[in-house]
Structure 1
Amino acid sequence: MTLTNNSLTLTSAPAKTASDQPTPPQGNCPAHIQLPHWEEWLASGVDTDLIALNVRSLSGTLPYDYLLYSDGIPRRNDGRLTEGFLKRYACLEAGGWWCGTLNPLNSNQPSLWGCFKPDQPHLDPAKGKAVKYEHPPKEPTQAFFCGFLGQFGSGLPAVIRFPCPTLKLWL
């Protein structure tokens, strides 16, 4: 494409090789995931069914509900989060993606714990770097046990020795 004397002339682009071609989207982006989040997970090589089952986009005040639930978080007398916590986590309102986990010790029920990747991360003042991933503060770290559909788990129960039912979560 070239612009000459206020007119636009379309010219054919040089032919691209197979290695230049972007990977086409695999499947349609579900309504509960914003397209940039979907594409980020696809670019990481994660199966579309696993993404659709375990990831969701959050924005506004909803990320607070997913992350700031611990009884260990300082609150005012009226139960509201302290100003310091609200300021530190204000970046959550810009949105991001959430990936939850299952609790294999509780019949694979969803756990409150998970990971949130904010679209606009805040800076860690001690390190001077952006905090790329957020986990519920004042809560112990947990392992990730993602939900999966039957076709992924057919050979796993015998190997990992706990029941892996067919799951439909968060849809």
Structure 2
Amino acid sequence: MNNQMKLSFEKSKTGNKDERFEAYQNILNETDRRVEWAYEVWDQLIEDLTHKDNHQRSRAAQYLSNLAKSDPEMRIMNDFPKLWEVTNDKKFVTARHSLQSIWKVAIAGKPQMDMVMEYMVNRFKNGTDEKNFTLIRNDILQNMKNIYDYYNDEAIKHTALELINTVEEKKYKKKYMDIWK
């Protein structure tokens, strides 16, 4: 990892608001493609998933989701439950930002995709007593659409449409279908 990226990780935690945001953007941009240094920060990010600061938890989840494609050892397969836990964070904005980035784990490979899909399908089906479950369902379906767009796998689309067909409220069913148009 070069010094600029090390500085971005440092400022992501300790800088002022503008510095943290700039560092956050730099890290997401850099990790949007494969990087060689993922394991230099991996363990710290896993630890930060339970940080007392919700912003740290959110950023750690987003960075790990991006780094899954840079994980030849497939550590994400064991660490995913810790990452998924942040999608249930007590701070809804943290949970939502984490959930909205989780699809990036799925594009790391077929085993990762299968795992992410399983977690999302389960949450869609069994999360109706969660606060804001309609937004969570929307994010899950958008994640599936992102994964579908990446792989062009009809099975993903089929799964999403099956889930949408289980929704009884017309307003939400229409909203969810709009994602797939």
When the two structures are superposed, what TM-score results if normalisation uses the length of structure 1? 0.26
Bigger fraction of residues in strand: 1
Higher relative contact order (CA 8 A, sep 6+): 1
Bigger fraction of residues in helix: 2
Give the number of the structure whose alpha-carbon radius of gyration is greater: 1
When the two structures are superposed, what TM-score results if normalisation uses the length of structure 2? 0.25
